[in-house]
A and B are shown apart, each in its own frame.
Chain A
């Protein structure tokens, strides 16, 4: 059977675009004999290969699971529409890259949720695999469908489709899940028994064990846990990041992927406390890896891949202890092998132009900064402790050092925002451009300055201080974008924005509840997939799906979340107290800052007591021990 499938796949590959996406067989891929293992785990990412292969979490899980002798993990990604069409034409089911085996024959199918607009791809992949969409329609003979990742902290719109939700850092819980699965498999008990036993593992949430109902404002009015499932579900965290598992080999793709380099995670969590930022809340507490461990990993990963670039990644890499030290040591070490070192996510205030200069010894590609808001008042509201002076000082230094391309990231639609703040974005960008042009005219490098202004639309996210905030209406967004289009004309300026309709759908699902599931399924039936790709996104289709399900899209997305009411995701605990979020929300309205707990006193977010965790800033020390 498998051989047959593999051959059929081979036959359709020449007829699709980018066949490398479905080829597998990359260096460092792990291919096991499927008959020699007890648990077959399909790791799925609901987007195309280039995107999926760039995601670090899945790589860690892939190698971690394959370390187990009794388990195999294989990859499966969303086939692009042309491939899907061929597969459906030839009756080929969704298959894994390693053994080209049918996904339906796996024991566990795990999806990572990175982005709300990829949810319809999950439904599409289940369908392509020949797996019933709803958990209640799947018996023991089908794979156990689990989801994890950042969006899993509000998985309610997917509740009927998934069996298990893994909350928090999967490395911390996945072993227990597989162990329990093995026990169950040998016992021959029912799927319900499996779910019951899994519900007793911390961090595992079984949506079907809960009865939840809402009022029109989206408030939870009924919440009932069945089968002894816990009322509050806590996320899992790695206690000691330095000693935690990190792969020493990474699959080396043939085709160019989005992040085509060695990604080395130097730290997890961020203490800045920007009030819009979900990552900053859900990945707490902050934990660093030691310099020693990072250097050791860098060596092994370069040796096993041959990549020409290492990226030191984390939510806010410039906060990592003694980052300059580490970067310079790595640069020195790999100079002869021509391996470069990249530091993404640098913040304006801690950004050192000297360091950037060394990192980009020859090439002066663009520098990016994220002031996020156009006026100091609004930056204070969102707790982005950057001031204009810092930004101008850093960009000035960069222009003087010969950089010519600067990118500025902003958001619009933030709480308390007025048109004054939007104008502030344009004013700030113009100031930077004018300063840059003046420096250019007085220097030898006559290349014109380019200031790219990228303004995305703020989408309120669960578990953040802004989880209660109102999402801007389409009219408001369009008005603000028009204002910026008018203001940001000029030779050295360019302006990019996000599709307001797409952001609206993102807002629907980010704070969606179980009622959104029905709508999603209807939209998928109407053809929705790859919604994150502008060429496939169709707002009218979503409007129709809402109507046919008996809801109104606008009423739903603009519903009024009450500060005191129970939110659809309140039973899922990321470790930060709800009282703290409320306080932060109030401070935002009052334009009050909350300092970074890395450099100041504990701000009392609750993470340490709730998760029995500790902050670990060992990056600067010699050893993690």
Chain B
């Protein structure tokens, strides 16, 4: 066992944006059974299917970059894996890409470093793209970008997110809606949430409304592989 790992990039679309991470996991497990895919099970007290996610997606967001590693009991043709699974998955969930994975690779979660998002900003007034770009540049040129994160049953955490934002760009503006793209730090060594970036922006720019999760889409995850930052699916070729 152990040499039959598949890594897949998965879509979590509009129709399923409100299902929780646990719901998503259960949905996947049941789809595997419907598709008759020989998934391997963990050993021990309460065996569970060996599938692991790179990271959980917050409820309300959509994503075309959910990465999942599947460990199978036997070899199966990769195209067949993808087709069979897609045939039984509910609307809104789809395997977009799948590749055979080297057995020795570490867990996705432990390699995760960055993620990218599109976010729609709701504006209280109409303004030009140039003006918005200028304001965003001003926002980023501050010495520090300190935010306050509320935590359950713990003291709020106050910290500077500036070093955690790698890129923040205005893509377009259409009347009172704008689209931005961001690349931010993700993973165990530091985790910034996209809505926190939008809220920080809204704090700074009075014409930007606070974040809504339904306005955010995850467009990419990136792992560290031999010192390089790459999408998880590319780590496989080596």
Taken together as a complex, chains A and B put the C-alpha atoms of A339 and B212 apart, in Å, by 40
Contact B31 A306 (CB under 8 A): yes
| Residue among A254, A306, A337, A338 making CB contact with B16, cutoff 8 Å | A254
Contact B19 A255 (CB under 8 A): yes
Q: Is residue A537 within 8 Å, beta carbon to beta carbon, of the partner chain?
A: no
Contact B18 A19 (CB under 8 A): yes
| Residue among A26, A254, A362 making CB contact with B45, cutoff 8 Å | A362
Contact A303 B213 (CB under 8 A): no
Residues of A within 8 A of B214 (CB): 14
Residues of B within 8 A of A307 (CB): 30, 33
User: Which residues of chain B from 202 to 235 have a CB within 8 Å of any chain A CB?
Assistant: 212-214
Q: Is residue B27 within 8 Å, beta carbon to beta carbon, of the partner chain?
A: yes
Tell me, rounded to whole Å, the shortest Cβ–Cβ distance linking A519 to chain B.
38
Q: Is residue B141 within 8 Å, beta carbon to beta carbon, of the partner chain?
A: no
Q: Is residue A304 within 8 Å, beta carbon to beta carbon, of the partner chain?
A: yes
Contact B19 A254 (CB under 8 A): yes
| Residue among B31, B34, B90 making CB contact with A25, cutoff 8 Å | B90
Q: A254-B23, A255-B19, A255-B23 are in contact. Are A26 and B90 (CB under 8 A)?
A: yes
Q: Is residue A302 within 8 Å, beta carbon to beta carbon, of the partner chain?
A: yes
Tell me, rounded to whole Å, the shortest Cβ–Cβ distance linking A235 to chain B.
37
CB-based nearest A residue for B89 = A27
- Bits for A362-383, please: 1 = Cβ < 8 Å to B, else 0: 1100000000000000000000
Contact A25 B213 (CB under 8 A): no
Contact A338 B41 (CB under 8 A): yes
Q: Is residue B29 within 8 Å, beta carbon to beta carbon, of the partner chain?
A: yes
Taken together as a complex, chains A and B put the C-alpha atoms of A23 and B16 apart, in Å, by 8
CB-based nearest A residue for B90 = A27
Residues of A within 8 A of B33 (CB): 302, 306-308, 337-339
| Residue among B19, B23, B34 making CB contact with A305, cutoff 8 Å | B34
Q: Is residue A549 within 8 Å, beta carbon to beta carbon, of the partner chain?
A: no
Contact B18 A23 (CB under 8 A): yes
Q: Is residue A256 within 8 Å, beta carbon to beta carbon, of the partner chain?
A: yes
Q: Is residue B138 within 8 Å, beta carbon to beta carbon, of the partner chain?
A: no
Residue among A13, A254, A305 with the highest chain B CB neighbour number at 10 A: A254
Taken together as a complex, chains A and B put the C-alpha atoms of A363 and B90 apart, in Å, by 30
| Residue among A14, A308, A362 making CB contact with B30, cutoff 8 Å | A308
Contact A25 B30 (CB under 8 A): no
CB-based nearest A residue for B41 = A338
Report which A residues bind B (CB closer than 8 A): 13-14, 19-20, 23, 25-27, 252, 254-256, 302-308, 337-339, 362-363
User: Can you identify 25 A-B contacts, CB atoms within 8 angstroms?
Assistant: A14-B60, A14-B213, A14-B214, A19-B59, A20-B18, A20-B19, A20-B23, A23-B18, A25-B90, A25-B91, A25-B92, A254-B23, A256-B22, A256-B26, A302-B33, A303-B34, A304-B34, A306-B31, A306-B32, A307-B30, A307-B33, A308-B29, A308-B33, A363-B45, A363-B46
Beyond A20-B20, A255-B20, A306-B29: 4 further Cβ-contacts under 8 Å? A27-B90, A254-B19, A306-B32, A337-B33
